[in-house]
Amino acid sequence: MRKKERYEKVIAWFQENVPVAETELHYNDPYELLIAVILSAQCTDKRVNMITPPLYRDFPTPEALAASTPEVIFEYIRSVSYPNNKAKHLVGMAKMLVNDFNSKVPDNMEDLIKLPGVGRKTANVIQSVVFNKAAMAVDTHVFRVSHRIGLVPDSCTTPFSVEKELVKNIPENLIPIAHHWLILHGRYVCQARTPKCDTCGLQMMCKYFCNTYKVTKEAPKAKNK
């Protein structure tokens, strides 16, 4: 299957079967989402959603968080991965928002990655989810699913190379939702250790499935979930 055809078929399947796809992190404004995404690094969204309500409640503004200390914040987030570093990042991020950005979350990559705890992936999540920009955040799920399906070649060995390939081939207006399509598919279907190939609706478009099960063009179409 040619690359263009694969992209067209995969996108069409998601549009029909997953018309609504959005972040599973809970938040009420850009500031809260920034906190949640920083906390979600190498941690599950479920865990982050369990600990953020008290944090949002007690530190409702960047000013409130900036006035706190990493030691205080640590007690709120101690059950996430790397709580010491993330506590420092959250306080540092809040101070920079207050001092450099008038307490507003920036809407561009250049400014976002200046914030403590914010790398390219986090910045792309904020740009995509909050500002609906054509930004593709590549986490472990997106990286894995993109390779398995065959959306990116084996030569894409870094998150940035995967990001560039996806952005180049997915229509700009669909990039924000495509980010979530790939994440959710990786989280619930195309899992790392035991991909649920038998129930996956992308079987006949998937390079991994066709190679693993020696599928030919005459194979029956996969059933939708």
List the CATH number of the domain containing 107: 1.10.340.30
Which of 69, 97, 129 finishes a domain? 129
Residues 35 and 125 in one domain: yes
Based on the residue annotation, tell me whether 95 is a catalytic residue of this protein: no
What pLDDT, in 10s, does the model give residues 124-165?
Answer: 999 999 999 999 999 999 999 999 999 999 999 999 999 999
Instruction: Give which of 108, 98, 110 is closest to 31, Cα–Cα.
Output: 98
Would the annotation count 156 as a binding residue?
no
Residues 116 and 198 in one domain: no
Residues 51 and 120 in one domain: yes
The pLDDT of 18-41, averaged and rounded, is: 96
Which of 86, 88, 95, 139 is catalytic? The answer is: 139
Q: Which domain CATH number covers 203?
A: 1.10.1670.10
Would the annotation count 200 as a binding residue?
yes
- The angle, 0 to 180 degrees and rounded to 10, between the axes of the packed helices 120-129 and 175-188 is 120
82 to 43, 47, 56, 59, 91: CA distances (angstroms): 9, 13, 19, 20, 15
First to last CA, the chain: 23
Its domain, for residue 194, covers 1-19+135-211
Q: What's the CA gap between 94 and 197, in Å, rounded?
A: 43
What pLDDT, in 10s, does the model give residues 159-212?
Answer: 999 999 999 999 999 999 999 999 999 999 999 999 999 999 999 999 999 998
- Domain total of the chain: 2
The pLDDT of 54-83, averaged and rounded, is: 97
Instruction: Give which of 7, 44, 4 is closest to 26, Cα–Cα.
Output: 44
Q: What's the CA gap between 180 and 183, in Å, rounded?
A: 5
**Token pair of 179 as six digits:** 């980010």
Based on the residue annotation, tell me whether 198 is a catalytic residue of this protein: no
Label residue 218 by pLDDT band (50, 70, 90).
very low
Would the annotation count 210 as a binding residue?
no
Position 146, amino acid: S
Which of 107, 111, 121, 214 is catalytic? The answer is: 121
Give the pLDDT confidence score for residue 214 in this predicted structure. 79
Give the pLDDT confidence score for residue 216 in this predicted structure. 64
